[in-house]
Every structure is written in structure tokens, then in C-alpha cells.
Structure 1
Amino acid sequence: MKINPNFIIRDIAGELVIVPTGTAAQHFNGMITVNSVAGFMWEHMAECSGPDEMIDLVTSEFEVDQETAKKDVTEFLTSLKKIGMIDF
């Protein structure tokens, strides 16, 4: 999966946020606060070719069952893709 280089993740006052930069800042007004799992996914996005690999990575790193991971990962990735933050 590929992250749009116009979005970066930052730790701001102890919270992980995805921030638009460059041309993305003209079209996306705001930031997205993410939890530690979503932050982990963002940091490992380039390692995975698609949602199934990300689901496997999340289940190996966190104590979560396959069904829950599939639902949550799919929902998060779909949201990011819809607003142009990632592509897969």
C-alpha cells in the first residue's frame, strides 16, 4: 500500500495525528487523531501490499482476534483510501 506523501503522522502533545501538507492541505482541512493501532498501521503501510497483509500484521502485533482485526483494518483503510490518504 502506498501513503500519499502529502500526509504525515505526528505526535502532538501525546496524541498521534495525521496531518495534511502541501497540496493536500488545500483540500483537506484538519487533522485526524488516531489510536496506537492505527498509528502502527500507518507506520507499516509500505510493508503491506493490501488489507490482508495488514490484518496479519495487526493480529501478530496486538491481542486481537482475526474477525475483529479484519473489520477494523478494513474500515480504517477504506476511510483513508476514500479521502485520498492511501492507495492499494
Structure 2
Amino acid sequence: MKRNTDFMLRDIAGEVILVPTGAATQQFNGMITLNEVAAFIWKNLDESESSEILVDKIMNEFEVDRETATRDVIGFVSALYERGLVLDE
């Protein structure tokens, strides 16, 4: 999995936001506000070869159990795929 480079992560007024650029502006109208865990997942997508690696990284960064980390990764990454923000390599 790899981030769609037509979306940029920005910190605007203390909010972490994904903003469409380029061709994505024609298909995606708006911005996505991310919480701390979602921003962490986004930042680590490209160098994580699998969802399990992301889960391990979340568990190392945040004080959560494997079940919670897995639920967060699956839920958020699935939503990203549905909206075209994550692509298969």
C-alpha cells in the first residue's frame, strides 16, 4: 500500500488535515481532518509493508492493545482505499 501523492498532510491552525492537490481536486471536494492516530498511520503508510507492521508501530507509539491498534488500522486504511487516498503498489 502506498499513499496517493495527490493528497498532502498539512497542519492548519493546530488541526492535521489531508488536502487534495492536482488531479485529486477534480474528484475529491473537501479536506479530511485527522486525529493523532490517523495522522500517524498516514505518515507511516509508505514505509510499512503490511497492516501488521502498522499495528506494531501504533502499539509502540501509543498505549493501546493489539486489538485496538488492529481495529484502527483496518478501519482507517479501508476508508482511505475507498476514497482513493491509498493505492496498491
Q: Once the 2 structures are TM-superposed, how far is the Cα of residue 77 of structure 1 from its aligned partner?
A: 0.2
In 1: Cα distance, 2:14 partner to 2:63 partner: 23
Q: CA deviation at 1:49?
A: 1.1
**Shift, 1:15, TM fit:** 0.2
What residue number does 2:22 align with? Answer: 22
The alignment of Structure 1 onto Structure 2 pairs a total of residues equal to 88
Give me the TM-score of the superposition, normalised by structure 1. Answer: 0.95
Unaligned runs of 5+ in 1: none
Please report the TM-score for the alignment, with normalisation by the length of structure 2.
0.94
1:6 aligns with 2:31: no
Unaligned runs of 5+ in 2: none
Instruction: Quote the sequence identity (%).
Output: 48
> Following TM superposition, by how much is the alpha carbon of 1:12 offset from its aligned partner in structure 2, in angstroms?
0.4
RMSD: 0.9
Residue 35 of structure 1 and its aligned partner are, at CA, apart by 0.7
Paired position in structure 2 for 1:58:
58
- 1:28-67 aligned at under 5 Å gives the runs 28-67=28-67
Describe the superposition over 1:29-79 as per-residue Cα deviations: whole angstroms up to 9, x where unpaired.
Answer: 000000111111111111101211111111111000000111111000000
